[in-house]
Amino acid sequence: MHAIIIANGDIPDLQLPLPPHDLLIAADGGVAHALRFGLAPDILIGDLDSIDAGDTERIERAGGQVIRHPADKEETDLELALDHAIEYGAKRITCYGLLGGRWDMTFSNILLLASPKYAGVRLEAAAGGTRIHVLRGGETLELAGRTGDQVSVLSLAGPALGLTYEGLAWPLADADLPFGSPKGMSNRMDQDRAAISLRVGVVLVATRSTAGRI
């Protein structure tokens, strides 16, 4: 099951139609982005402190579900949306609007994707021509793109052990990437398909398409 979440970060434009999906969730103020692009979320969730009352009514008239949480809560609106998607059975989640605006919220959103509670779920974030993937130990990420697409890898939780790259200009075989090291930056695909495997740890894989927005 594939869920799409639209959050309240920067989304200057959005390539439509969206990828095939089973569930569309707006995280609080992300509903304004959804409505701007003519999308009707199945669910609007959050404390709803960043939206117009009219937007809530529009979602309800379209048959969507509005789930309001108290403002004094421990979870961010994105976390609520992620948890709700998983409760619905999502095994793949693509997020839009995670970047931009408040820097603290941007970092929080990225680190949230690396939370251990989301192990077993394929998590991605899209922003213009950049796509962010979370890869965990024991997993392999298959990349489809074109020659020249940029690929960067950053460790998110301690050292990343046993990194192997196939199909990239600078391949690796069972290599280690220290936490905080920029050594995984700015590799590139040298064919239309590539694969990154990780033995231990959690890494962020960012790909940037030479074709523009994805």
Residues in the chain: 214
Tell me the average pLDDT of the chain.
92
Element containing residue 58 per DSSP (H, E): helix 53-61
Tokens of 86: 């998983």
For 126, residues 6+ apart whose C-beta sits below 8 A from its C-beta are 94, 95, 96, 132, 214
pLDDT of residue 51: 82
Look at residue 213 and tell me whether its pLDDT is greater than 50: no
Closest CA to 88 of 27, 17, 14, 2: 2
Residue 29 region, left (φ>0) first, then alpha (ψ -120 to 50), else beta? alpha
Look at residue 197 and tell me whether its pLDDT is greater than 90: yes
In this predicted model, what pLDDT tens digit does every residue of 118-133 receive, in sequence order?
Answer: 999 999 999 888 999 9
Count of C-beta atoms within a 10 Å radius of residue 48: 20
In this predicted model, what pLDDT tens digit does every residue of 137-155 receive, in sequence order?
Answer: 999 999 999 999 999 999 9
| Distance from C-alpha of 122 to C-alpha of 134, rounded to nearest angstrom | 7
